[in-house]
Amino acid sequence: MNLTERVLNRIVLAATRFVQRHGAIRPGTKAGEAFGTLGEGTWVTYPLGPQYGLSSVHIGRDCLIGKGTVLTVGYGPDDPNIPERGLVIGDRCVIGARTILTSHGSITIGDDVWFGQSIFVSDASHGYQDPETPIGDQLGDHQPVSIGSGSWIGHGAVILPGTQIGRQVVIGAGSVVRGTIPDHCVAAGVPAKVV
């Protein structure tokens, strides 16, 4: 690598770090004021994923929300019916890059929960009551989701509506979780079962 390439490489990397640091949402930023709560020491890293309904998103202290994470509450940016606390994330949580957290009623994540990357969590799905109506027009019931404190959710897991995950639980990578997972266990598979 010649001197010009080395200098350009250093400039591009420095500019990237500058944009990532100053593009992050933190307490005290204008973008941070859109959240219901954004705890001290929390970073929503840049580049950002889609975000709306942020007045219903409450994130605790010292959390790290990974690049490209989707944080949404409601059925769109102009939904007038969002709940007051649709998405609640406790203190000291790590949400891996490219995770999707989409709430319509209630998703609650306890303290010290760590997510791998590319995880999907939703409290709503679709129905199939009328085979003649497009599936996307058959909205399902909102079913609260909760993830207990101290849990670890592995890469690529899918957490379906109505799931209640206990405290200190490990969910294996790629698992599809529905129902109740008790405290202090490991669950994995499709569908996830206690192993």
pLDDT in tens, 129-141: 888 989 888 887 8
Q: Which residues contact 110 (CB under 8 A, 6 or more apart)?
A: 90, 146, 147, 148, 149, 150, 151, 167
Q: Which residue in the list 22, 58, 104, 126 is annotated as catalytic? A: 126
pLDDT in tens, 34-45: 999 999 999 999
CA distance 170 to 150: 9
Q: Which residue reads 């969002």 in tokens?
A: 82
Examine the residue annotation and report whether 184 is marked as an active-site residue of this protein.
no
Confirm if 148 and 130 have CB atoms less than 8 A apart. no
CA distance 157 to 177: 8
CA distance 135 to 149: 35
User: Tens digit of pLDDT per residue, the chain (195 long)?
Assistant: 899 999 999 999 999 999 999 999 999 999 999 999 999 999 999 999 999 999 999 999 999 999 999 999 998 999 999 999 999 999 999 999 999 999 999 999 999 999 999 999 999 988 788 889 898 888 878 999 999 999 999 999 999 999 999 999 999 999 999 999 999 999 999 999 999
Confirm if 27 and 15 have CB atoms less than 8 A apart. no
**Helix ranges restricted to H, the chain:** 3-23
